[in-house]
Structure 1
Amino acid sequence: MSLEQKINQDIKAAMMAKDNAKLRGLRAIKAAILLAKTEKTQVDELHADTEIKVLQKLAKQRKESGDIYKNQNRDDLYQIEMEELQVIEEYLPKQLDRSAIEDVVKGIITEVGATSIKDMGKVMGAANQKLAGSADGKTISEVVKSLLS
């Protein structure tokens, strides 16, 4: 079952349960998937990696918006963003913790023969490919910088 089909089923379930917070998050996911499908020149199904990228983008947007609302003391809007973020994260693969990311990056550093911060581009390219969907780019970048410096 594709992510889109699962989202449609979950929207129906959330409507029946009258779960407005979950419904908002699911509708945001559905809208982003439909937008991604129209951008990919009339594709019927998105690849799993594209779906994950769409979900990661939505999660990042919710986190950034939540931070802004928190800084402006808008707890009502912050709460809405965090509720939607929780729903989006349910559909993302489990994120690795920092130590697991460090282990993977150490292996990549030895694999590509990186010795200094100048090799960060090579390491980042390989790390982003290997950790796609299971870690965000910001964390990967922080780990690579700390290991290469």
Structure 2
Amino acid sequence: MLRDDLKAAQINAMKAKDKERLAAVRLILAKVKDRDIELRTGETPADDDAMIIEVLQKMGKQRRESITMYRDGGREELAAAEEAELAVIEEFLPQQMGEGETKAAIEAIKTDLGATGMKDMGKVMAELKARHGAQLDMSKASALVKASLS
């Protein structure tokens, strides 16, 4: 389970005295715990790993945006710190699909749904997320779907 992998990574980072990695793993575990608390009031999630992957994807997206902003502002040292955190976050994410694989998946979904134009974009995106959500950056996939349907 992914949660166990995160806890093991935390212990290994402590033993190795790797402060940066330890801080990043603790940050991930804190976000997962926050999400656990949020979900206590709602329905129980069916898949714990899916919830953790969702949290990791959100954290990765935030880091990428921060890196861009820091670079635009000339704060290279802060961008480097964010990149280090992003590298740790990406270690726990499943292997992401390449652009070619993503395009092939989009075409398969378009064929299955009979999607022809932009009016079908919502259906295609929903199906793409259902089938391949953990393996895709949905913002990049959105641009590919839009290009494919126009």
Q: TM-score range by the shorter chain?
A: over 0.9
Question: In structure 1, what is the equivalent of residue 39 of structure 2?
Answer: 40
Distance 1:9 1:124 in 2: 35
After superposition, the Cα gap between the structure-2 partners of 1:56 and 1:5, relative to the gap in structure 1 and judged at 3 Å, is: same
Query: Can you give the 5+ residue segments of structure 2 that lack an aligned partner in the other structure?
Result: none
Contact preservation (8 Å) 2:3, 2:49: no
Query: Can you give the 5+ residue segments of structure 1 that lack an aligned partner in the other structure?
Result: none
Distance 1:34 1:51 in 2: 10
Q: Which has the higher helix share?
A: 2
Post-superposition shift, 1:127? Answer: 0.8
Post-superposition shift, 1:131? Answer: 1.2
Does 1:10 pair with 2:9?
yes
2:71 alignment partner AA? K
After superposition, the Cα gap between the structure-2 partners of 1:45 and 1:141, relative to the gap in structure 1 and judged at 3 Å, is: closer
Question: In structure 2, what is the equivalent of residue 101 of structure 1?
Answer: 102
Contact preservation (8 Å) 1:26, 1:87: yes
Aligned-pair identity (%): 35
TM-score, normalised with respect to structure 1: 0.93
2:56 alignment partner AA? L
Question: In structure 2, what is the equivalent of residue 50 of structure 1?
Answer: 51
Structure 2 SS opposite 1:62: helix
Moved more, 80-89 or 7-16: 7-16
After superposition, the Cα gap between the structure-2 partners of 1:83 and 1:31, relative to the gap in structure 1 and judged at 3 Å, is: same
After superposition, the Cα gap between the structure-2 partners of 1:37 and 1:45, relative to the gap in structure 1 and judged at 3 Å, is: farther
Question: In structure 1, what is the equivalent of residue 28 of structure 2?
Answer: 29
Question: In structure 1, what is the equivalent of residue 67 of structure 2?
Answer: 66
Shift >3 Å, 4+ stretches: 42-46
Distance 2:45 2:10 in 1: 20
